[in-house]
């Protein structure tokens, strides 16, 4: 498995030169982000490629995902590699992902913050960890990361590869840069045929379609004692949630609640923002509309007078998907591409979505065909869809069952990904005489 030589690229050379010159500015950016709570001040050196954690002996895989969704999606891959006796270092770029990985990574796997894409930072990181294989998740095409990995001859694989129409158009304006980057990948494992076509069009030499890893992610856990407590607090009330919302969606959700509250007495709406730091702002929006809100991050619980419960904590989607039988998926009412519905479907929620689902178009299309989603566009249609489900338990259960069955049927990407990676593991083992 010899990787073809990467073509020269003046855009890539220019990028590498600029990022090297701007290294002092990168250090200042990190300090500024730390003051704003966007970086972990106790681990900020990791963002410059330093590590106090020693490299484990033997084969080591480096897996990089941008944030929460990407890192959760590769957990089954991490678990299978560790079970093979392969050490794994998982990198991500956000505090939220680090907190979740701290709880979920199995023994034998290590989390590090990914260095900023500065040549010296990346060299320092790779010199320390000396990965024997590198897996990049979805669309994290950082030029210095790719160039430094490729320069050492380390097998480089894109897993759960995704290329949106917008990103495809943008990269096509820089054909030399896209070819220079993607030609350095030994293999690109795409989520869908369309993703695979776009990656090949941009210069990826070897592309296989294996499906979406997020379809194989286990249902998120929940504190069952807390679930029992919250269930008791909301017993007898109609409950639904808006999951992983973005700015612009909360207002629509609040308007929908206002439209439903008369026909659904005691209605409780749970809003779980994609970024928990927006919890205070959502509570303020609710107050402006005359709705009483409680915030989970403040230790508050929903009493009988609470209309809006803001689930502004990390790592608890499993709790709220189990609590609410109907879930609107966030980033679908605003043009953000839509969050994956897999976790909600696996936990038995009836799904509602808006029109913007490009990030998981194939999954949503399959759910739509099976009657596993209701499609809405604004507060009025959202209120109509949610109230129709809450007032018809049989219909609600049927929609939830259809969604769950479709998600299970679409699985298998983990096994196909591991089969594609296996030759690289064997090549390492043969080279080590094992």
Task: State pLDDT tens for residues 289-331.
Answer: 999 999 999 999 999 999 999 999 988 999 999 999 999 999 9
DSSP 3-state assignment of 207? strand
Residue 280 inside a domain? The answer is yes
Residue 54 inside a domain? The answer is yes
Q: Which domain holds residue 259?
A: 224-409
Task: Report which of 423, 433, 429 is spatially closest to residue 1, judged by C-alpha positions.
Answer: 423
Task: Report which of 321, 297, 318 is spatially closest to residue 309, judged by C-alpha positions.
Answer: 297
Residue 375 DSSP code: E
Rounded CA gap, 337 and 246, in Å? Answer: 11
pLDDT of residue 288: 95
Residue 107 inside a domain? The answer is yes
pLDDT of residue 434: 46
Active site residue 70: yes
Q: Which of 23, 39, 46, 70 is catalytic?
A: 70
| Percent of the chain surpassing pLDDT 90 | 87
Question: pLDDT-derived band of residue 3, with 50, 70 and 90 as boundaries?
Answer: low
Residues 76 and 202 in one domain: yes
Angle at 216 between CA 196 and CA 38, to 5 degrees: 80
Residue 185 inside a domain? The answer is yes
Residues 144 and 284 in one domain: no
Residues 166 and 228 in one domain: no
- Give yes or no for a contact between 306 and 287, defined as CB atoms under 8 angstroms apart: no
Residue 424 inside a domain? The answer is yes
Domain count, the chain: 2
Rounded CA gap, 135 and 414, in Å? Answer: 13
Computed on alpha carbons and rounded to an integer, the radius of gyration of the chain in Å comes to 23
Residues 393 and 284 in one domain: yes
Residues 256 and 123 in one domain: no
Residue 48 inside a domain? The answer is yes
DSSP 3-state assignment of 105? coil
Residues 143 and 73 in one domain: yes
Residues 201 and 254 in one domain: no
Q: How many residues does the chain have?
A: 434
Residue 265 inside a domain? The answer is yes
Q: What tokens were used for 105?
A: 């990574």
- Residue 344 belongs to domain with CATH number: 3.40.50.2000
pLDDT in tens, 213-265: 999 988 989 999 999 999 999 999 999 999 999 999 999 999 999 999 999 99
Residues 199 and 151 in one domain: yes
Residue 91 inside a domain? The answer is yes
Residues 121 and 195 in one domain: yes
pLDDT of residue 10: 81
Residues 362 and 324 in one domain: yes
- Residue 188 belongs to domain with CATH number: 3.40.50.11720
Q: Per-residue pLDDT for 100 more than 80? A: yes
Question: pLDDT-derived band of residue 68, with 50, 70 and 90 as boundaries?
Answer: confident
Residues 350 and 425 in one domain: no
Q: Per-residue pLDDT for 117 more than 50? A: yes
Residues 51 and 134 in one domain: yes
pLDDT of residue 8: 62
Contacts of 92 (CB under 8 A, 6+ apart): 64, 65, 66, 67, 70, 71, 98, 101, 111, 113, 114
């Amino acid at each position: 498995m010899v990787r073809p030589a990467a073509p020269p690229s003046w855009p890539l050379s220019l990028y590498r030169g600029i990022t090297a010159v701007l290294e002092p500015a990168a250090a200042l950016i990190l300090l500024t982000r730390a003051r704003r709570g966007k970086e972990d001040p106790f681990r900020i050196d990791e963002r410059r490629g330093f590590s106090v954690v020693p490299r484990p002996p033997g084969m080591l895989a480096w897996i990089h995902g941008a944030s929460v969704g990407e890192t959760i999606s590769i957990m089954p891959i991490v678990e299978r590699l560790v079970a093979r006796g392969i050490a794994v270092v998982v990198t991500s770029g956000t505090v939220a992902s680090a907190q979740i990985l701290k709880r979920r990574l199995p023994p034998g796997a290590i989390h590090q913050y990914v260095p900023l894409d500065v040549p010296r930072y990346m060299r320092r990181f790779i010199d320390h960890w000396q990965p024997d294989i590198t897996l990049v998740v979805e669309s994290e095409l950082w030029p210095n990361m790719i160039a430094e990995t490729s320069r050492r001859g380390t097998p480089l694989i894109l897993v759960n590869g995704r290329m949106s129409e917008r990103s495809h158009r943008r990269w096509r304006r820089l054909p030399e840069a896209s070819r220079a980057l993607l030609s350095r990948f030994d293999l690109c494992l795409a989520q869908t045929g369309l993703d695979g076509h776009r990656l090949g069009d941009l210069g990826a030499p070897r592309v296989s379609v294996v499906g979406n890893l997020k379809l194989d992610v286990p249902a998120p856990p929940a504190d069952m004692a807390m679930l029992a407590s919250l269930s008791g607090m909301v017993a007898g009330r109609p409950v639904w949630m808006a999951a992983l919302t973005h700015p612009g969606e909360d207002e629509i959700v609040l308007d929908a609640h206002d439209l439903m509250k008369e026909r659904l007495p005691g209605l409780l709406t749970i809003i779980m923002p994609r970024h928990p730091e927006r919890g205070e702002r959502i509570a303020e929006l609710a107050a402006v509309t005359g709705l009483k809100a409680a915030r989970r991050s403040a230790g508050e619980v929903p009493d009988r007078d609470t209309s809006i419960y803001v689930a502004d904590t990390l790592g608890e989607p499993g709790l709220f998907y189990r609590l609410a039988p109907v879930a609107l998926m966030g980033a679908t009412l605003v043009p953000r591409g839509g969050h994956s519905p897999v976790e909600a479907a696996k936990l038995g929620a009836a799904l509602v979505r808006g029109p913007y689902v490009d990030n998981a178009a194939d999954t949503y299309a399959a759910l739509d065909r099976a009657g596993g989603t209701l499609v809405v566009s604004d507060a009025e249609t959202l209120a109509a869809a949610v109230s129709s489900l809450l007032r018809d338990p049989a219909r609600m259960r049927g929609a939830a069952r259809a969604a769950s069955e479709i998600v299970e049927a679409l699985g298998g990407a983990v096994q196909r990904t591991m089969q594609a990676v296996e030759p690289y593991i064997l090549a390492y083992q043969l080279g080590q005489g094992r």
